[in-house]
Amino acid sequence: MAKKEIAVVILNWNGRALLEKFLPSVLKYSETAAIYVADNASTDDSVSFLKMNYPSVKIIQNQENGGYAKGYNDALKYVDEELLCLLNSDIEVTKDWLLPIVTLFNTEPETAIIQPKILDFNNKVFFEYAGAAGGFIDKYGYPYCRGRIFDTIEKDLGQYNDTIPIFWASGACLFIRKSVFNKLNGFDETFFAHMEEIDLCWRAHNHGYTTKYTSASTVFHVGGATLNTANPKKTYLNFRNSLFTITKNAPKNILILILTRLVLDGLAGLKFLFSLKFAHLIAILKAHGRFYFALPKLLKKRRVLKQELKESILTSAPKEYYQVKSIVWHYFVKNQKKF
């Protein structure tokens, strides 16, 4: 059988119920793609369910649950297609969702990563938290999206019906050329989960690749199906991995940047304290502790990146590096809730 142009790879961990609910839409609307499920050593009956009900789906069985980052790194070694779609198991896709993506890749060889419009599965006229209409980042490393800044989510009124360069694409539905994924050595496995896609896109940006958003393709995401925002573990991973990301990838001298972030994180911790969310405060403290422990290795990764780039983009801050200096200032002080 001839190799297909694009592969849709769904990472699964004990998600039989999600596969049962959302896999049918993927199969129905992805006739031109090879469909894979990469199972992260599930202990439920996900694999037997797939074998019995969806024999056309290719199953990759990882030996351990290494989270999103290692899970995909391990699985994609067994995927031959050049164009990859990394798709969460809690996403409903739509008719012809792949066509605009493949067309964009084929007509723009410099475009390495693409994100579709991501709407809320449970309230389909609103954007979804994880990605919305494309991601950006501020000078201090805080990510935000068109259509979602912190906890403010916009209604989809067609305001982001376009195709534009963005800084990062959501890992909920991320398209990438396999050649680029391999050149970047995939995801950083120390992240486990959360923000590893921002780190990947930032590294791609530093290597000169373009990441784009297109509204010509739409998917609906449940969000939080694996780890919701109320879980302190998610707070820990987000704060830790954000510090990891800026240390590895941010331009210029990072000392002042890191110190500023640590102070801003401290203010976030005080907010959790006054809100009596003690578990989240402890999560931030643990994230900072882990960051200090990992700092020597992070700085080594930064040096490796600079050596790879030769004339390093890390010594300058191109204008597309961030859209606003501080999204925290715009949102909490100036009360600007939309992109």
Q: Write down the number of H helices and E strands in the chain.
A: 10, 14
Element (H, E) at 28: helix 16-28
Closest to 180 (Cα-Cα) out of 214, 147, 203, 212: 203
Question: Token pair of 213, please?
Answer: 């958003």
Residue 198 has φ and ψ, to the nearest 5°, of -70, -45
- Mean residue pLDDT across the chain: 92
Query: Is the distance from CB of 155 to CB of 36 less than 8 angstroms?
Result: no
Q: Delimit the domains of the chain by residue range.
A: 6-221, 232-333
190 DSSP β-pair partners: none
pLDDT at 319 over 70: no
- pTM attached to this predicted model: 0.93
- CA–CA gap between residue 202 and residue 249 (Å, rounded): 7
CATH 1.10.10.10 given to domain 6-221: no
DSSP code at position 319:
G
What does the pLDDT read at residue 317?
A: 46
Q: Write b or e for each residue in 233-262: b if 16 or more Cβ atoms lie within 10 A of its Cβ, otherwise e.
A: ebbbbbbbbbbbbbbbbbbeebeebbeebe
The pLDDT tens digits for 111-164 are 999 999 999 999 999 999 999 999 999 989 999 999 999 989 999 999 999 999
Question: Token pair of 69, please?
Answer: 């980052």
Hey, is 267 helix, strand or coil?
Answer: helix
Hey, is 186 helix, strand or coil?
Answer: coil
Residue with tokens 């982001």: 160
Mean pLDDT is lowest, of 197-201, 210-214, 318-322, for 318-322
